[in-house]
Amino acid sequence: MYARVSTAQVQPGRIDEYLSMVEGMKPEFNKIPGVVTYYQLMDRETHKGISIGIYESEAAATAASSKMQELGGRVAHLLVLETVSREYFEVSLTR
């Protein structure tokens, strides 16, 4: 399995709006081939959000990149754009 980890700062006062929009995108995310699961983490004090997408393989994560960029673009107006980062990791251990 492979993970795509994105971090960003949400603009103060816009966290609930951000989370609502991300929740609304779940059906589209779940239709992306190779998706295993998705997590959204949020620290309301620092406004930092972490999105973790788990994919069947590195190839699936790479293939999903353009769709994930499109979905992320829908919430970009709610973010402090200088803080956005994306990284990919092999999922080495699971329960």
For residues 15-33, give the mean pLDDT.
Answer: 93
Q: Give the model confidence (pLDDT) of 26-69 as tens digits.
A: 999 889 999 999 999 999 999 999 999 999 999 999 999 889 88
* Predicted local confidence at residue 23, as pLDDT: 94
Judge whether residue 82 has pLDDT over 80: no
Domain ranges of the chain: 2-90
The CATH code for residues 2-90 is: 3.30.70.100
Judge whether residue 24 has pLDDT over 80: yes
Neighbouring CB atoms inside 10 A of 10's CB total 23
* Predicted local confidence at residue 84, as pLDDT: 83
* Predicted local confidence at residue 75, as pLDDT: 93
Q: To the nearest 10°, the Cα dihedral for 75, 7, 86, 63?
A: -50
